[in-house]
């Protein structure tokens, strides 16, 4: 069998090593660098060994698998059970998300009132395996993710913030 037809599974460690090297060498926007690398590798990364946390009350588990020693980024593997849904939120830093398994829905919102964090639904998408999305910090990119399928979904997240001391400091809550 020719080598190019063999599926080669990549460890998450390989992704992190390549990501760190790319950020060390590249002067471009980190979000763009991460998104490009994630596009190249998402179909090969094995996240299963990193899905160790139990699901929260919203039906998903957040697993922080790496924080950059220089504080430039954090990497999470998230498992979404059927029916899982986040609260409406934005982020305090750039981020990239890749769908490694299943399908994830994303409702997008626009800010109605900055003072009260009130939003209104503006669009939605469904993203399957291999899809990559990037998000900018608040007030851009206000969204909520969900799994409306009947089987689990798994996503890889990289955020431009150190989550080692406060795993939820990336989120900015919003409401209807």
Residues annotated within the binding site are 89, 91, 143
Residues annotated within the binding site for Fe cation are 89, 91, 143
Dist CA 78 CA 104 (whole Å): 11
- The three-point CA angle 147-45-6 to 5° equals 120
Dist CA 91 CA 82 (whole Å): 24
User: What DSSP line would sit under 80-111, residue for residue?
Assistant: E-TT-BPPSEEESS-EEEEEEESEEEEEEEEE
H/E stretch holding 25 reads helix 12-25
């Amino acid at each position: 069998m020719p080598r190019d037809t063999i599926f080669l599974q990549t460890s998450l460690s390989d992704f992190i090593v390549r990501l760190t090297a790319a950020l060390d060498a590249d002067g471009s926007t980190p979000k763009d660098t991460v998104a490009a690398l994630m596009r190249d590798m998402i179909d090969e990364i094995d996240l299963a060994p990193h899905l160790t946390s139990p699901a929260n009350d919203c039906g998903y588990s957040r697993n922080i698998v790496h924080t950059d020693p220089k504080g430039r980024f954090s990497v999470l593997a998230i498992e979404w059970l059927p029916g899982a849904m986040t609260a409406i939120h934005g982020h305090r830093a750039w981020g990239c998300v890749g769908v490694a398994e299943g399908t994830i829905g994303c409702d997008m919102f626009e800010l109605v009132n900055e003072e009260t964090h009130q939003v209104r639904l503006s669009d939605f998408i469904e993203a399957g395996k291999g899809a990559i999305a990037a998000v900018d910090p608040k007030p851009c990119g206000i969204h909520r993710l969900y799994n409306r399928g009947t089987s689990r979904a798994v996503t890889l997240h990289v955020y431009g913030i150190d989550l080692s001391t406060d795993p939820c400091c990336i989120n900015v809550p919003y409401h209807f």
